Amino acid sequence: MRVNVSSIVDAYSQGYFLMADDDNLLGWYRSYHRTLIPLDDRFRYPTSLRRAINQGRFTVAINRDFRAVCEGCANRETTWISSDLKEIYLELYQAGWAYSFETWQGDRLAGGILGIAIKGLFIGESMFYRIPEGSKVAMVKLVEHLRRRGFLLFDAQLQNPHLERFGSYIIDNSEYKKLLQKALARPCLFM
């Protein structure tokens, strides 16, 4: 499969995202309501997670094992990450657009978040864990990282109960487009 990285980045920059359907066919989607992870004081996480962070049970890495994070995110009973989409993520990674934000326990990958960074926009595509709290610690550390780097927007695309625990909130498409334009005007670098 030949991937046109610039057209894919352009589509994400316009608010679209890729997903595979039940037949593993890729399609572009856009939601009328968007879920955002706050990068301000609305971001929160459970006290029990605070203990795990303070104990230093995990170390954090970026792109230490991008392929393993991609595989971990796709390894579910029902997944929208098809083999074609994994290949696209790999191409985006090699071109410097996609990243894996990882937690490790020693040499063991504990969890991670797969995402795409375009200027001041970070699009969280998926997350997974192999060790309890691995993906949650990754979320907290990723938000801290995005704050330090000056990112404006952390787009999680679709709401779920797990993201709500971190203070995620939903905005309508018109508000999302305004924030998207501001984020794309901000010259941030993920690394």
All domains of the chain in start order, with CATH = 5-184 (3.40.630.70)
Q: How many CB atoms neighbour CB 67 within 10 A? A: 13
79-118 as b/e: b if 16+ CB within 10 A: ebbbeebbebbebbbeeebbbbbbbbeeeebbbbbbbbbb
| Contact call for residues 135 and 103 (beta carbons, < 8 A) | yes
| Contact call for residues 27 and 118 (beta carbons, < 8 A) | no
> For residue 178, is pLDDT > 70?
yes
pLDDT of residue 84: 92
CA distance 142 to 150: 12
CA distance 167 to 95: 32
pLDDT of residue 47: 85
pLDDT of residue 1: 61
Instruction: Look up the pTM and report it.
Output: 0.94
Averaged pLDDT, 25-50? 91
Name residue 35's amino acid.
Answer: T
Q: How confident is the model at residue 184 (pLDDT cuts 50, 70, 90)?
A: very high
**pLDDT averaged over every residue in the chain:** 93
Note the pLDDT tens digit of each residue in 51-98.
889 898 999 999 999 999 999 999 988 788 999 999 999 999 999 999
